[in-house]
Amino acid sequence: MPSRKGSCSCAPTIWPKAVAEGQSIEYRERMMVATNLAGWILNQSGTIVGHSETHILGSKYHFVHGEAVAYALPSVLEMSASVLPKKVKEIGKILGAEFTGDETPAEIGAITKQAYLKFRDEQVGLHPFSDYGVSNEELVKNADEVLHERFAGNTSFELTKENVTELLKHFG
């Protein structure tokens, strides 16, 4: 493994480089470590409403799980900023977002969401959710199930049928 001097060189540029230079053993190694750490963290702490959405919707509509997580995340980030603005801002910075320092939690959520969408759609090249042929109106019918899915309770903000419905309206 290459030597690491100072802070982790994984953020904020490793993910775009790993996607753009997939043949790079160094970048692939760093991504492997990051994904293994993420898996360990998920195993130790559980997941939140974004995964709840994907568990319910993926089983019904046959969405690829990783893609479904990528479709759920933008709105979850935006809602999470209301209670975890510092963490959401950190995610935004990792994704290359710029902040002045005067943003409200809602603005932090919106800026981070846009940075994530740019990364997901331009760097990763995830195909549009519309390719699945399932409408958001159809997804909204699953709000109660998502609300009561076992990991939904780990979410940092209070979940209600109304805000889960909003998440599903913007899934994709």
pLDDT value, residue 6: 35
- Which residue would you say has higher pLDDT here, 4 or 139? 139
pLDDT value, residue 158: 95
pLDDT value, residue 45: 63
- Which residue would you say has higher pLDDT here, 99 or 123? 99
Distance CA 144, CA 127 (A): 28
Query: Taking phi first (over 0 means left), then psi (-120 to 50 degrees means alpha), and beta for anything else, what does residue 111 get?
Result: alpha
Q: What is the pLDDT of residues 9-56, one digit of tens each?
A: 344 456 677 888 888 888 888 888 877 877 776 766 668 999 999 999
Using CB atoms within 10 Å of the CB of residue 62, give its burial: 0 to 12 exposed, 13 to 18 middle, 19+ buried: exposed
**Average pLDDT of the residues in 132-149:** 97
Among the four given CATH numbers 3.30.70.1170, 3.20.20.30, 1.20.1090.10, 1.10.10.2840, the one describing domain 49-169: 1.20.1090.10
Q: Omega before 12 cis (within 30°)?
A: yes
Domain boundaries, the chain: 14-45, 49-169
Which of 132, 78, 126 lies closest to 106, judged by CA? Answer: 78
Distance CA 86, CA 64 (A): 30
Q: What is the pLDDT of residues 60-98, one digit of tens each?
A: 999 998 899 999 999 999 999 999 999 999 999 999 999
Helix residue ranges per DSSP H, 14-64:
14-20, 25-45, 49-61
pLDDT value, residue 3: 34
pLDDT value, residue 30: 81
Which positions ≥6 away from 29 have C-beta within 8 Å?
1
